């Protein structure tokens, strides 16, 4: 039983189906761990133990009657606090929503429930999803279980920590520029960003609450963080598909392009002057290359046919992401505005200017960025005639220290092998898949000298979610893969 909370979701589901364990027993294992460890980590910010127990008992009773409870039948999970959950507080890190209790589930949450998942609680995040670390004025920061002085990443940092230390079967999150992949990389997990618009974001904040809940936030995608790459398959099966309002439109997950490393055609891209990486991340890339070559994969380093460079992709990303976030302006307080003005004076052409322009741009400017996005998407589609996946860094470094600058978003920096870089470089490699609209899966590779996890990511063709998942599973099996954080292993 001591190993159970660290096993894969697929193995737990198998044990549930066979009767080796009940949903209630598995839930109690997780709840006990939440009681012991969550105060130190601050991963789960709202817990609904009573309702979870009722649902677990109902799942067990249904299973005893021989009823099919779905692909996630009886599995306890957590959900990022940006998804509306009926009868359960949904704060999204915002003070104005501190007491917000929705009356209905987000569409993805509803699908998870219909597939049998039991939601234990909600996980921590930054206000409005607008940061690459999980810290907010309502709940405070989430700590990295590998080093409590370091960030868990974001925006889905709370969910990554909850999954890494065995507080739930997995966490269901969302992202717009790496919000599932960055925390997965920092905490030693597999993290997945789904193909754009394959899973509805209706009931996600932003754009909700209110009438905005019915809109899909531009660029954003659901995703999940798991301990085993193949855990992602049932999650995708449970949640992928159109809204009923879309009528005849349908979306079907394509099968994996390959099931052996020797059959994968892999492009490796890790050298770009717009976003240099440190020796730890470069070393992780080299370790994966060695595994691929040993496994017989066709590997091409820095192919000349790459559709874009980072600078080109990011020029399209910035106005689109700030326009998407511009729906939620609750964070534009006098203190934030003062900090933004100060950074504009210090660096008149820096990140603060891009944020200001993107938030208040004209519709005409947005249309130009949107057109650039779709032209890049077309180039990527053509690129995947030649390759199956692209191996890339997730961020330039392992998890950096907590920064303590919740308001001053553009006053932070990242140390990349002694070079001072923008803190927002953490989004650049990730935003490539957000612009392309394609799936991407992180792979835990190794631990650095400080004992921190270091991962990479595989990006694949639109609709090819199961291709990047299978690739991640095959590669991860040859490397460290998921390891339980030692301080929270008992």
> What are the structural domains, with CATH classification, of the chain?
4-307+373-488 (3.90.1300.10), 310-372 (no CATH)
What pLDDT is recorded for position 257?
A: 98
Predicted confidence (pLDDT) per residue in 406-416, tens digit: 888 888 999 99
Predicted confidence (pLDDT) per residue in 269-292, tens digit: 999 999 999 999 999 999 999 999
Predicted confidence (pLDDT) per residue in 306-334, tens digit: 999 999 999 999 999 999 998 888 888 88
Look over the chain and give the mean of its residue pLDDT values, rounded to a whole number: 96
Whether 249 has a pLDDT exceeding 80, the answer reads no
- Gyration radius (Cα) of the chain, Å: 21
Q: What is the DSSP letter of 202?
A: T
Whether 81 has a pLDDT exceeding 90, the answer reads yes
What pLDDT is recorded for position 441?
A: 98
Angle of helix 232-239 relative to helix 465-476, nearest 10 degrees? 170
Predicted confidence (pLDDT) per residue in 438-490, tens digit: 999 999 999 999 999 999 999 999 999 999 999 999 999 999 999 999 999 98
Whether 248 has a pLDDT exceeding 80, the answer reads no
- How confident is the model over 98-121, as a mean pLDDT? 98
- How confident is the model over 333-347, as a mean pLDDT? 86
Q: Please enumerate in sequence order all residues whose Cβ is within 8 A of that of 460, keeping only pairs 6 or more positions apart, or say none.
A: 257, 384, 388, 389, 390, 438, 439, 440, 441, 467, 468, 471
Closest to 476 measured CA to CA, from 40, 108, 8, 50: 8
118 DSSP β-pair partners: 76
- How confident is the model over 393-401, as a mean pLDDT? 98
Band the pLDDT of 266: cuts 50, 70, 90: very high
What pLDDT is recorded for position 405?
A: 84
What pLDDT is recorded for position 299?
A: 98
pTM beyond 0.95, yes or no: yes
Q: Please enumerate in sequence order all residues whose Cβ is within 8 A of that of 406, keeping only pairs 6 or more positions apart, or say none.
A: 135, 136, 137
Whether 107 has a pLDDT exceeding 80, the answer reads yes
What pLDDT is recorded for position 156?
A: 98
Mean pLDDT is lowest, of 11-20, 91-100, 211-220, 254-263, for 211-220
Band the pLDDT of 2: cuts 50, 70, 90: confident
CB 462 within 8 A of CB 195: yes
Band the pLDDT of 404: cuts 50, 70, 90: confident
CB 121 within 8 A of CB 55: no
CB 307 within 8 A of CB 383: yes
What pLDDT is recorded for position 218?
A: 94
Band the pLDDT of 123: cuts 50, 70, 90: very high
What pLDDT is recorded for position 250?
A: 76
Q: What is the share, in percent, of the chain residues with pLDDT greater than 70?
A: 100
- Tell me how far apart the 2 most distant CA atoms of the chain are, in Å: 68
Predicted confidence (pLDDT) per residue in 35-51, tens digit: 999 999 999 999 999 99
What pLDDT is recorded for position 90?
A: 98
CB 139 within 8 A of CB 162: no
- How confident is the model over 230-242, as a mean pLDDT? 97
């Amino acid at each position: 039983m001591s190993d159970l909370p660290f096993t894969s979701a697929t193995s737990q589901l198998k044990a549930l189906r066979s009767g080796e364990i009940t949903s209630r027993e598995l839930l109690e294992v997780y709840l006990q761990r939440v009681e012991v460890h969550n105060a130190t980590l601050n991963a789960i910010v709202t817990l609904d133990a009573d309702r979870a127990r009722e649902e677990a008992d109902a799942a067990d009773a249904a299973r005893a009657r021989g009823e099919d409870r779905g692909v996630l039948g009886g599995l306890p999970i957590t959900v990022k606090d940006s998804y509306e959950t009926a009868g359960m507080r949904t704060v999204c890190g915002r003070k104005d929503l501190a007491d917000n209790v929705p009356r209905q589930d987000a569409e993805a949450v509803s699908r998870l429930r219909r597939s049998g998942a039991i939601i234990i609680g909600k996980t921590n995040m930054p206000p409005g999803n607008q940061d690459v670390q999980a810290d907010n004025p309502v709940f405070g920061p989430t700590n990295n279980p590998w080093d409590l002085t370091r960030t868990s990443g974001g925006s889905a940092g709370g969910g990554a920590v909850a999954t890494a230390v065995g507080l739930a079967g997995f966490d269901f999150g969302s992202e717009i520029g790496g919000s599932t992949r960055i925390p997965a990389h920092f905490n030693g997990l597999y993290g997945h960003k789904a193909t754009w618009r394959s899973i509805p974001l209706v009931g996600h904040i932003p754009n909700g609450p209110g009438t905005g809940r019915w809109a899909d936030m531009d660029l954003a995608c659901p995703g999940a963080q798991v301990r085993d790459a193949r855990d992602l398959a049932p999650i995708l099966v449970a949640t992928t598909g159109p809204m009923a309002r879309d009528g005849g439109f349908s979306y079907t997950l394509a099968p994996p392009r390959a099931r052996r490393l020797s059959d994968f055609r892999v492009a490796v891209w890790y050298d770009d002057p717009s976003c240099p990486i440190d020796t730890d991340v470069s070393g992780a890339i080299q370790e994966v290359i060695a595994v691929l070559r040993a496994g017989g994969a066709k590997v091409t380093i820095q192919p000349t046919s790459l559709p874009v460079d980072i600078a080109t992709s990011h020029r399209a990303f910035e106005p689109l992401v700030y326009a998407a976030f511009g729906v939620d302006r609750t964070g534009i307080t006098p203190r934030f505005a003062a900090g933004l003005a100060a950074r504009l004076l210090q660096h008149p052409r820096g990140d603060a200017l891009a944020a200001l322009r993107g938030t208040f741009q004209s519709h005409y400017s947005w249309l130009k960025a949107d057109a650039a996005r779709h032209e890049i998407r077309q180039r990527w589609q053509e690129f995947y005639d030649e390759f199956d996946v692209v191996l890339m860094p997730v961020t330039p470094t392992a998890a950096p220290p907590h920064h303590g600058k919740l308001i001053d978003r553009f006053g932070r920096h990242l140390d990349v092998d002694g070079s001072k870089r923008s803190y927002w470089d953490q989004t650049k490699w990730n935003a490539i898949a957000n612009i392309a609209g394609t799936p991407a899966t992180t792979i835990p590779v190794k631990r650095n000298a400080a004992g921190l996890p270091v991962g990479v990511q595989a990006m694949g063709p639109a609709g090819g979610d199961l291709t990047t998942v299978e690739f991640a599973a095959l590669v991860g099996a040859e490397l460290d893969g998921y390891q339980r954080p030692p301080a929270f292993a008992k």
